[in-house]
Chains A and B, each alone.
Chain A
Amino acid sequence: MAFCCLAQVAKAQQDTSFYQLKAVEVFGKPAEVFAAGSRVSSLDSSYLRTYTSATLAEALQTRTPLYLKTYGASGISSVSFRGTSASHTAVLWNGLNIAMPSLGQNDFATLPLSGIGQVAVQHGAAGAHYGNGAIGGAVLLQSPEQAGKGIGAEVQQEVGSFGRYYSNAALRYSNNKLTVGASGYWQEAQNNFTYRDLGRFGAPETRQEQARVQQKGITQDLKWQFAPKSYLAFRSWYTYTHRQLQPAMGAAANKAEQLDKNLRLMAEFGHTSRIGETTVKAGYFTDFLHYTDVSNNSVTDITTYQLQAEQTYTYGQSWSLRAGLNLQHFAADVRGYGGEVTEDRAAAFLLFRYDPDPKLALSLNLRQAFVKGYNPSPTPTLGASWQFVSIGEHLLYLKGNVSGSYRVPTLNERFWRPGGNPLLKPEQGWQAESGLRHTYSKGNLTLESEFTGFYMLVDNWVLWTESEFGYWTPLNLQKVRSQGLEWSSRATTVAGEFRPGLSLGYALTSTQQVAAYEGTSAELNKQLPYVPLHKVTVATDAAWRSWTFTGNLIYNSERFTNNNNSSSMPGFTLLGLALGRQFRFGPGNLHCTLRADNVTNTEYQTMVNRAMPPRNYTLNLRFIIP
């Protein structure tokens, strides 16, 4: 069964202190340097350690306020930030945007956590910082950084319910000049769970037979410090996903299958000099998607070339300025376009961080995009964070920002035949957010809380609608408003050998169309479909001697499934538990983890009438030579 190669370079990445660049250390993590006043969170390292075999979709669903729409156990998974849609999320891999140019989004079920070092989430509009599509937020993926010198290795094998096997192997080597890491993974899941088929007379128990998934992939990272102040890095990431797409209950089995092959290569050059840091990144991405069912056969094959150059100058501990340029070229060979389509895009950006006082951080960013045939408005961000109370161990920060964002219509939105609309207007978003952050630290106890309110307006929001001629076509909604509250808290302590931690999160999201163009049959002031008003996450992790325990609880409230809010899916709660133990074993450590997901056997849906798996178990063995 499952050998092949497998994934995950080490756990080095979990130690974020390694990964902060020296020059910007004073400002915190790299993702936050120019994002003063906005909300940036990182996926917990203990979670990443326990759920190495998960996809990004599962991780974000479990640990963030984001809502994930998943077409059944095997299906496409898209993410929603603050009530926005999947194409309103920018996904960056080591700083380069990897959205498929055809769809303007990523399928999070095809992005594995394996081989990814750190996952950071920027909530809210960040067009100035992350460019096209960062209207609702951005997901930032970083390759792992190596911790120690010498050779390290890891193998991993996992067996789970419903015919799931996962294997993973990683190797790394590091000396003074060279750091090399490679990992590969292989996964197969039958997903042959039983469910009540609500689409058949009497709702009989039925076995799922159209949700098989096969995934494999490799990551490779090489960094060569060829001079004391200069380095070259080469990274590659290949993912392969072949899956059967699960039909809705009640819909005919149409034998839908999708094959995704995504290759991402990048070369990076970095140099530090008197005038600061210079970084040049060149990317070459190919995205291949082949969809078939009984009556369709559609191929999308797109090559993207990307170049990003940045110059960052940091003056002591008070200010930092980054100027940069991003160039993209798409060459799309898509059956649905009826011919090759190419496009060039450019953007110039200027990011400025200024700390006039150790207690006050300000950032001012500006980006201007250039796309032939479009005239995107400049997107600025103005943010601030002020530590205004310091009483004993209590620190209180006031923070906030105002930011703009934009999205140029995707290639499908313009060129797909029939339906593509070359006259579609680009989306333009504005967002204001403000909040409080509180930290408390005494002895072994650490408390951290963040409370944020946001208000967002998006003009010309693109929505695909079935037209009068019977095919789907994208239309601009005049104005969509999203507003809400986000609260998160985390507490950790140490009591002897016992190290417990608890995180709580809550998001209130209200997203509605508030203005419509004349002549469109719009549903005004109704919650957009598939946006839960409430989402709650509770996560706990504890370590005792060689034992670890992880628990995740999420609640999503009712989600409407149509524009006029007359039908909905009920809210649901999911519980996941994991227990692990570490053993010394020869030259390394053996980690054994037993996981149970959907512990309460909840019957739920995230896309209408798509059955989801009941309670399931996973046993994971991981051998690490540090």
Chain B
Amino acid sequence: MKKFTFLRSIFMTTALAAGALALSSCEDKASGPTGTYAENAVLISNEGSFTASNASVSYYNRNTGAVENNIFSKENDPQVLGDVLQSIAVHNDRAYMVMNNSKKVVVANVNTFKAEGEISGLEMPRYFAALNNQKAYVTEWVTYSGNGRIAVVDLNTLTVTKTIEVGVNPEKLVISGGKLYVANIGGSTISVINTATDAVETSIAVTRGPNSLVVDRNNVLWVASSNSKAYNADWTISEELSQPGALAKINTSTNTVTGTFNFTRNAPSPSNLTTNANKDKVLFVYDNKVYQQDIAATTLNATPFINRGASYPARSFNGFGIDPSNGYIYAGKAPNYTSDGWVVRYNTTGAVVDSFRVGIAPNGFVFR
């Protein structure tokens, strides 16, 4: 099983890279998908401000450097995307926009961004992952404090066929080896769901507040946890009273934690965990800096990979992604919720390449 997924991922990566090369080198539109947003696309999800319904999607052409903002509204005028775009996922020719405070997932053609439907009836939906052409999963918080659930979605009818109860505030999710791993950010577990039966198989105890998770080239599942935080009178996070965050490594064959790296400082939290293109390094945001960790390393890397200094504005890594085609790091910078944010690009050495303006509070990227 493990070997099969590994081979498949290699195959997929190669196919994607070849596709990207084909597109960028000869620009043969006939061979690739067509549409305004089909080529060299980086899609940026812009959260928007809560209750204003001004979430948006931006398109960046990494070949020409052209930026197009608000592409959903442009293509579907006068419709608006909705309130609080938590995340975007792309599967085949469709983009799935998880609209947290619209209680739905908006579905659009990823090449033209024409709306094709919506998956409604979701309670505080967060993230989306497709298993295959028939089935996908959406995490739903349902409430702020109680157990959340996973919606099983039929991708042909865009309806929820089943829900699976998991832990408190199910957040990010990843599919690997026939299993769906769900980080319950409000608790201290990773729920493991069998994608054949859509039933919870087990749950893995990790440090409190798992916020992101990723699978490396050895099929090891990495989990970043924030841990418990206490606040000072001025609502900053207390160094004294908080608990330090951690990175955990999980063997996906046995579903057991094989190692935990605890951070030394209490107030900051590791977040936005992701892998590089080769999947032999994990990267994450910590204390408004980016750190890179070799998957074989036995201690936490104390040297930041990207360090913009102590005065660099907070929330400058509100969104974080790595372009698998060239290893560039994309950071979504969100100064506030009343002005548009920025995307800052860094190269493989961690140096700034360029930046461009997108929508309000950019929080994630899809590279095609």
- The residues of B that contact A467 with a CB separation of less than 8 Å are 336
Distance between B312 CB and nearest chain A CB, rounded to angstroms: 11
- The residues of B that contact A201 with a CB separation of less than 8 Å are 79, 106, 115, 117-118
A247-B51, A248-B53, A252-B83 known; A295 vs B336 contact (CB < 8 Å): no
Complex: A57 Cα to B80 Cα, angstroms: 28
- The residues of B that contact A466 with a CB separation of less than 8 Å are 49, 336-338
A609 touching B54 by the CB < 8 A rule?
yes
Considering only residues 295-311 of chain B, those with a C-beta below 8 Å from chain A are 311
Of chain A, the residue at the smallest CB distance from B361 is A466
Distance between B172 CB and nearest chain A CB, rounded to angstroms: 18
A248 touching B52 by the CB < 8 A rule?
yes
- The residues of B that contact A203 with a CB separation of less than 8 Å are 78-79
B313 touches A (CB below 8 Å) = yes
A201-B115, A419-B235 known; A608 vs B53 contact (CB < 8 Å): yes
- Flag A314-343 by CB within 8 Å of B: 1 or 0 each: 000000000000000000000000000000
A-B contact pairs, 24 of them (CB 8 A): A199-B53, A199-B79, A200-B79, A201-B106, A203-B78, A248-B52, A249-B53, A249-B80, A250-B53, A250-B80, A251-B51, A251-B52, A251-B53, A251-B83, A252-B101, A252-B103, A295-B144, A466-B337, A467-B336, A519-B311, A521-B336, A562-B339, A608-B54, A609-B54
The 9 A-B pairs of least Cβ separation, nearest first, read A468-B314, A250-B53, A418-B235, A251-B83, A521-B335, A250-B82, A563-B339, A248-B53, A609-B53
Complex: A62 Cα to B51 Cα, angstroms: 28
Complex: A132 Cα to B235 Cα, angstroms: 30
- The residues of A that contact B117 with a CB separation of less than 8 Å are 201
Complex: A471 Cα to B337 Cα, angstroms: 11
Question: Does more than half of chain A's interface fall in helix, strand or loop, or is it mixed?
Answer: loop
Complex: A471 Cα to B315 Cα, angstroms: 13
Chain B residues at the A interface, C-beta cutoff of 8 Å: 49, 51-54, 69-70, 78-83, 99, 101-103, 106, 115, 117-118, 144, 231, 234-237, 311, 313-315, 335-340, 357, 360
A295-B144, A566-B340 known; A198 vs B335 contact (CB < 8 Å): no
Complex: A519 Cα to B311 Cα, angstroms: 8
Distance between A618 CB and nearest chain B CB, rounded to angstroms: 28
B102 touching A250 by the CB < 8 A rule?
yes
Of chain B, the residue at the smallest CB distance from A248 is B53
Residue in contact with B235 in the complex, picked from A196, A198, A471, A562, CB distance below 8 Å: A471
B339 touching A198 by the CB < 8 A rule?
no
- The residues of A that contact B311 with a CB separation of less than 8 Å are 519
Complex: A519 Cα to B82 Cα, angstroms: 32
Interface centre among A203, A247, A252 (most CB of B within 10 A): A252
Complex: A450 Cα to B49 Cα, angstroms: 41
- The residues of B that contact A523 with a CB separation of less than 8 Å are 339
A566 touching B53 by the CB < 8 A rule?
no
- The residues of B that contact A564 with a CB separation of less than 8 Å are 339-340, 357
- Flag A195-213 by CB within 8 Å of B: 1 or 0 each: 0101111110000000000
A203-B78, A247-B51, A566-B69 known; A469 vs B235 contact (CB < 8 Å): yes
A248-B83, A250-B80, A250-B82 known; A563 vs B338 contact (CB < 8 Å): yes
A251-B101, A417-B235, A469-B235 known; A562 vs B80 contact (CB < 8 Å): no
Complex: A521 Cα to B339 Cα, angstroms: 9
A465 touching B338 by the CB < 8 A rule?
yes
Complex: A252 Cα to B78 Cα, angstroms: 19
Interface centre among A247, A254, A566 (most CB of B within 10 A): A566
Complex: A285 Cα to B166 Cα, angstroms: 51
- The residues of A that contact B340 with a CB separation of less than 8 Å are 562, 564, 566
- The residues of B that contact A248 with a CB separation of less than 8 Å are 51-53, 83
Complex: A250 Cα to B83 Cα, angstroms: 6
A250-B102, A521-B335 known; A567 vs B53 contact (CB < 8 Å): no
